[in-house]
Amino acid sequence: MPGPLSDALAWAVILLFGAGVLLERYDERVARTTTAGAWVLFALFWLQLIPHFIFEHKSYIEGFLTIVAVPASVYAGWLLYRGRDTLMILSRAVAVMGLVYLPFETIPAIVVGGLTIPAPRQFLIQAVADQTGFLMGLFGYHPEVVMGNESGYPSAFLFTTPEGHRLHFEIVLACTGLGSIAIFAGLIGAVKAPLDRKLRALAISIPTIYALNLARTTFIGITFGNQYLQFFVDEVLFMFGSSDPYMVSWFISDRIISQLLAVFVLVGLTYAVVRELPELLTVIEDVLYMVTKEEYDLHESLDIRVPRADGGERVER
């Protein structure tokens, strides 16, 4: 379950990946063994999160992906240990992802000389909450801003139905798009490519993710707060193991519509980033090999060439 032990395990995983990345410069065999061990530890990290996503978060998509991540991480470590060195790119990506994400997840508020420095997560959550409230206001909805039950600061919206039922919609770290931002930042940071193309790839992905995430939180807030998606109530409650009919709009807007759309958006965004940074195709080829056990040459199939420093092009393997 998420908590101090889970956070400690996450940092241990990222530090071990980081150690493998640093060792790659000095001893490839030791680096490969260290990074393979990091993948096994990564599998343990995902394993302990399965109950959280399935039973507490009630997300079938995230729960399924978490379950898949356990054997996938072990398999990646085994392939790397057996000599598939291209997986070092994906390993570097995981290290960067963790360094982007974990400070927001784990670093608390700090008091220095009587001055309280807010936790990084507070800056991000409150920024998203403020912007979500602004966007809802543009559509004519003005819920009361209240203290969040989970965060402990004003990052929640209180809606009241015509029957007088109070609905609480809170922005938490998972609502900020940080996870997707960390994934793209990690992948872009991991490949060996000129800085200008990396910056263009970041400029394509990060603002797009952030903007679309604000659209998502606004959509969920409006539809849940006003109970606009009360369809197939009994079926939806059964599907998500809930007895609260007021949660149906939440389940449909967030757990079904938003998460399914997110998959398509991330696929499209990945394609756009790959056009700018073709080196990322090597990572996708490795993932496809893990799934199908067949080798792919996406550079050739998609006719995507990697620009050379001299202005020419080459196919990257």
Task: Give catalytic residue positions.
Answer: 175, 216
Residue corresponding to tokens 């990052």: 155
How far apart CA 188 and CA 279 sit, in angstroms, is 9
Specify whether the CB–CB gap between 249 and 229 falls below 8 A: yes
Beta strands in the chain (DSSP E): 110-112, 115-117, 144-147, 154-160, 166-170, 306-307, 313-314
Q: Residues near 205 by Cβ (< 8 Å), separated by ≥ 6?
A: 181, 184, 188, 269, 272, 273
**Tally of CB atoms within 10 A around 313:** 12
Cβ count within 10 A of residue 276: 18
Q: Give residue 33's identity as a one-letter amino acid code.
A: T
Amino acid symbol at 5: L
